[in-house]
Chains A and B, each alone.
Chain A
Amino acid sequence: MISTEQLYETLQKRFGFSQFRPGQLEALQALMAGQNTLAVLPTGAGKTLIYELYGAVTQQLVLIVSPLISLMQDQVTTLNVKGEKRATALTSMMSYDERTWVLRHLSAYRFVFVSPEMLSQDQVLNAFQLAQVGLLVVDEAHCISTWGPDFRPEYLLLGQIRHQLNDPLTLMATATATKHVRGDIKEKLQLPHATEIVLPVDRQNIFLDVERFEAQVDKDERLVELIATLKKPGVIYFSSKKKANEMAELLGTKTTCRVAAYHADLDPETRFKVQQQFMQDRLDVICATSAFGMGIDKNNVRFVIHYHVPSDIESYWQEIGRAGRDGQQSVAILLYQSGDEQIAQFLSEATVPQANEISYYFQQNEPQVAGDEKANLIWFYKQHHYREEQVQTSFEKRREQRIIALRKMMGYVRTPECKRQYIQTYFDQTQDEAVSTHCCSSDEPDFQLAELGLLAPADDGDLQERRQATQINWQSILAQLFNAQSEQSDVI
């Protein structure tokens, strides 16, 4: 049995920290005692450290089930940058040969990231059965409950897969989970007795603001005004890639800020550049879709603005959690225009097949068209021997759930009461005794960004300067790249 002293020692030696953040040590101690653990720690609390340290101390293979390829790649890169070379992600971006190579050399790795779809393939599962998984991590575990059955139903197989892997010790990690969702995660993974470590979800340094508009022009105008005046950097979330692109362009012309769009359509080179520019403070604002964020570890984000209403509180809380990780005052602003909930409702229900679609696809054989998601979804259930009535009932229930989730989200938008309290009640948590000085726009309808210290410095001329500073010549770019003396390195 590994002692607490050993944990501290590794923390210091490998990670250079002398203290654990709240929840980390408790989770590690539970795991060391052989208890399956559900850790609900707020965004930025350092969930990854738990399994990194576990792998480092026990020298066992850690298998991490993760929802997004881009997230997995980010996590592998982060581990690499920290000096851990034995990390890889098995993704659909790899060719069959590459994947086979990695599977044959599993013993060379300490951390392997995989999607549930990949893990449910026989070849992959067999390899992990032989490799002896020391710790199974289900990252972003709320996906088990908030996604599937309409989206990525393979998440539902994880309980069964866990048995097939000989019931390895399991860590379920998430930033947001209501009591119901926690129960759901444990039930789906067939771990009803897992130890729960739940930290308050509240982030007191984030001021919660909702602003309402009747017309889109007013909303756009306000957005421009906010971006021009708010302290940077910040993130604006949109429900569509098209809108994210449009607004990035608009804000780039109407303000002096350096703005870029970020979404799933970007090619990997552009995605890397935008992400790194943002990390290195060379961009002030990112216009993003939900593809941006999971895995982005930037401490000084001062604001998160939502241009559209998210479809549930979990997503909203997760996204605004990217603000103020450094503990400094930050703000979350939701710009709501009457009728926005219809977009959210459409998006939220679009993936759930209708009754007649279910019947239709149930009569069909294996889907012929690769991209037909609904056909693939129903095919999944057929293959796993579900009956049509079961699927009908389950999707009917799903649709109701989605409607309720959106209704709760709209409750947040509309409540004249304290927004923070609304969130805490939603997550079944009680108000902390230490209440934020500045809480939300319900409590302080006339709040001023200046009072929060969130206005950009009046003389933001340095933005212009920084912009010009990038206008250098190719000679100096080369000199900088290769650490050489340039003959002409002065700024034009």
Chain B
Amino acid sequence: MDAKQLITFLSPKAPRRLRVIENILVGKRTVSTLYWGMRYHQLPWLGYEKKLSRQAMDQAVHELKTQGLVNVAETNAQLTVEGAKAQQQVIQNSYQPENLNIRLVIDIDTFWVRLLLATQVVSEQAYQNGQYYPLQAPWAVKQWIKQWFRHFHDADLKTTFYDFWQSFFTQLPDQQAMFMSQLLVGHERPGETLGQVAQGLSISETEARVMATDLTCQLAKTISQTQTACLNTLLAGLKRPLVSTSAQLTLNSFMAGESLETISHNRSLKLSTVREHLLEAAILLPKEQFAFQRILTPELVGQMSRRLDDTPIDDWQFKQVEDLPVEFWQFRLLEILRSKQTDDQHGTTL
């Protein structure tokens, strides 16, 4: 995280909660974080920088503040007019990711190590070299690639990999193709570090990391669509659930028609936890996959809408509707539904 990256998470229209931005990057899956992360269009970044420190965050805020690009009140920040201009500049002049949401459903880090190691192994095979230093990788990944290689050993991996990378790079802008190819490791090619490639392109390491992650997501997407076994096997076992496992169980029961009370009883969960599970699912899944109408009856929606529809969603206050027979979590669910109806950028599917 640096100031340039933070500016892209902020808005000139309304103050944003810095703790939400931080919690999304760190990967905290509380309902409140997820909800605001959705409102800020920041969900694809969930858990992007697990080791982000408060200090780094404060440093970035401080930098923007001293340059007059943000106004900070308590822990909320809003871009100034200058800030909005700067944001436009950053968006125009730096790499803007488009595939990060794939991170939420695929273990991208492991995928990259597998692909990098597989590429190295195939490259050495292309030179009939059996004595080389393999990439440092977790034990499990190494074992996995060993088996993979044993299985596909005779499958003309050299041509498959050459063709795959060739076609992947051809559809990328030249600079991005160059960037990614320099990271690759193989025969007499130790590969370049992210820092070295960033320097070569005169971009920051933070930006290079976004680019590498986004391109890796794109690679995963491409590979998931190929029919070639030796390639799409590289994704085997790397799928991860968009919604946490426990929330998914709650959701399954709910979608099967069980009442919240029954779910609470059967799963020995507090009613509030059941509600949180449902909110998590509603936020993360496409709206067709969640039965909003079971909780928000048309009558209730009508009543609330009359009070709220003239206000932008981010300014909705529960007190506007608290005299109605409605609880806070239902109010929040309506916020989620409206967000999804007015904006199709939410929801993550592969």
The segment out of B57-65, B147-155, B182-190, B316-324 that lies at the interface is B182-190
Q: When the two chains form their complex, are residues A482 and B135 in contact, meaning their CB atoms are under 8 A apart?
A: no
Whether B190 pairs with A93 at a CB distance below 8 angstroms is no
Q: Which of B119, B132, B158, B181 has the most CB of A within 10 A?
A: B181
State the CA gap A256–B95 with chains docked (Å): 29
Whether A282 lies near B136 (C-beta < 8 A) is no
Question: Which single member of A83, A269, A276, A475 contacts B113 (CB below 8 Å)?
Answer: A269
Q: Give the chain B neighbours of A484 by CB distance below 8 A.
A: 126, 158, 162
Q: Is the CB of B190 within 8 A of A474?
A: no
Closest-by-CB residue of A relative to B134 is A77
Instruction: Tell me which residues across on chain B come within 8 A of A269, comparing CB atoms.
Output: 113, 116, 135-136, 193
Q: What's the Cα separation between A474 and B177 when bound, in Å?
A: 6
- With A98-B139, A276-B133, A474-B177 as given contacts, are A260 and B158 in contact (CB-CB < 8 Å)? no
Question: Which B residues are CB-close (under 8 A) to A268?
Answer: 135-138
B131 / chain A contacts, CB cutoff of 8 Å: 81-83
- A98 adjacent to B140 (CB under 8 Å): yes
A367–B25 Cα distance when bound, in Å, is: 29
| 8 Å CB contact of A481 from B126, B136, B174 | B126
Q: Tell me whether A478 is interfacial, beta carbon within 8 Å.
A: yes
Which residues on B sit within 8 Å (CB–CB) of A93? 138-139
Would you call B165 and A273 a contact (CB within 8 A)? Answer: no
Tell me which residues across on chain B come within 8 A of A481, comparing CB atoms: 119, 123, 126, 162, 165, 184, 186-187, 189
With contact pairs A81-B132, A82-B131 given, residues A273 and B192 touching in the complex (Cβ less than 8 Å): yes
Tell which of B27-35, B194-202, B266-274, B285-293 binds the partner: B194-202
Contact between B189 and A480 (Cβ–Cβ < 8 Å)?
yes
Q: Mark A174-199, 1 if CB is under 8 A from B, else 0.
A: 00000000000000000000000000
A contact residues around B184 at 8 Å (CB)? 477, 481
* A83: chain B residues within 8 A (beta carbon): 131
**Minimum C-beta distance from A438 to chain B (A):** 34
In chain A between 70 and 92, which residues have their CB closer than 8 angstroms to a CB of chain B?
73, 77, 80-83, 91
**Of A81, A95, A276, A477, which is within 8 A of B181 by CB?**
A477
Chain A 449-492 against B: per-residue CB contact (8 Å), 1 yes, 0 no?
Answer: 00000000000000000000011011101101111100000000
Inter-chain CA distance A270–B127, complex, in Å, is: 24
Check if A274 is an interface residue, CB within 8 A of chain B.
Answer: yes
If the complex has contacts A273-B190, A282-B190, are A478 and B181 also in contact, measured as CB distance less than 8 A? yes
Q: In the bound complex, what is the Cα–Cα distance between A77 and B193 (angstroms)?
A: 21
Main secondary structure of the interface of B (DSSP, over half): helix
Q: How far is the CA of A475 from the CA of B168 in the complex (A)?
A: 12
Question: Do the beta carbons of A474 and B187 come within 8 Å of each other?
Answer: no
Contact string, A49-80, partner B, CB cutoff 8 A, digits 1/0?
00000000000000000000000010001001
Partner among A94, A273, A482 whose Cβ is within 8 Å of the Cβ of B162? A482
At the interface, yes or no: B282 with Cβ under 8 Å from chain A? no
Please tell me the size bucket of the interface on B.
35 or more
Contact residues, B156-170 vs A (CB, 8 A): 158-159, 161-162, 165-166, 169
Task: Give the shortest distance, in Å, between A157 (CB) and chain B (any CB).
Answer: 25
State the Cβ distance, A278 to closest chain B Cβ, in Å.
Answer: 9
**Contact residues in B for A274 (Cβ distance below 8 Å):** 193
Chain A's interface: helix, strand, loop or mixed, by majority? Answer: helix
Is A160 close to B, CB under 8 A? no
CB-based nearest A residue for B139 = A94
Partner of B140, one of A81, A95, A474: A95
Contact code string B35-70 (vs A, CB < 8 Å = 1, else 0): 000000000000000000000000000000000000
Q: Given A77-B133, A482-B123, A483-B187, A474–B193 Cβ distance below 8 Å?
A: no
With a cutoff of 8 Å between Cβ atoms, the chain A residues found around residue B166 in the complex are 475, 478
Inter-subunit contact B193/A273 (CB<8 Å): yes
B347 contacts chain A at the CB level, 8 A cutoff: no
Q: Residue of A at shortest CB range from B128?
A: A483
Contacts of B119 in A (CB 8 A): 481
**Shortest beta-carbon distance from A127 to chain B in Å:** 17
- Which of B122, B136, B158, B196 has the most chain A CB atoms closer than 10 A to its own CB? B136
Residues of chain B within 8 A of A82, CB atoms compared: 131
Determine how close the nearest CB of chain B comes to the CB of A103; give it in whole angstroms. Answer: 13
With a CB–CB cut-off of 8 A, which chain A residues contact B127?
A: 483
- Pairwise interchain contact B162-A478, C-beta atoms closer than 8 A: yes
Cβ < 8 Å to A, chain B residues 206-224: none
Q: Are B158 and A482 in contact (CB under 8 A)?
A: yes
Check A213 for interface membership: any CB of B closer than 8 A: no
- Point out the residues of chain B lying under 8 angstroms from A260, CB to CB: 193, 195-196
The answer for the CA separation of A480 and B119 in the assembled complex, in Å, is 12
Indicate whether B301 reaches chain A with its CB closer than 8 angstroms. Answer: no
When C-beta atoms are compared, the residue in chain A nearest to B166 turns out to be A478
Residue-by-residue, is A253-290 near B (CB-CB < 8 Å gives 1, otherwise 0)? 00000001000000011111110110110100000000
Q: Which one of B116, B126, B189, B200 has the greatest number of beta carbons of chain A within 10 Å?
A: B189
A270 near B194 with CB under 8 A, answer: yes
Judged by a CB distance under 8 angstroms, whether B326 is at the interface is no
Chain B's closest residue to A480 (CB) is B189
A95 and B187 alpha carbons, distance in the complex (Å): 30
Q: Write the nearest CB–CB distance from B262 to chain A, whole angstroms.
A: 36
Shortest distance from the beta carbon of A12 to any chain B beta carbon, whole Å: 19
Q: Chain A: which residue is nearest B131 at the CB level?
A: A81
B249 is an interface residue with CB less than 8 A from chain A: no
Q: Contact between B136 and A73 (Cβ–Cβ < 8 Å)? A: yes
Q: Which listed residue, A271, A471, A477, touches B189 by the CB 8 Å rule?
A: A477
B81 at the interface (CB under 8 A from A): no
Measured between beta carbons, the chain B residues less than 8 angstroms from A80 are 134
Residues of chain A at the chain B interface (Cβ within 8 Å): 73, 77, 80-83, 91, 93-95, 98, 252, 260, 268-274, 276-277, 279-280, 282, 470-471, 473-475, 477-478, 480-484
Closest 8 pairs (CB-CB, A-B): A276-B190, A474-B181, A268-B136, A481-B186, A483-B126, A482-B162, A272-B136, A477-B181
Listed by A's residue number, 9 A-B pairs whose Cβ atoms lie within 8 Å are: A77-B134, A94-B140, A95-B140, A260-B193, A269-B136, A269-B193, A282-B190, A482-B123, A483-B123
Instruction: With A268-B138, A280-B188, A474-B174 given, name 9 new contacts (CB 8 A).
Output: A73-B136, A77-B134, A81-B133, A83-B131, A95-B140, A260-B193, A280-B190, A473-B178, A481-B165
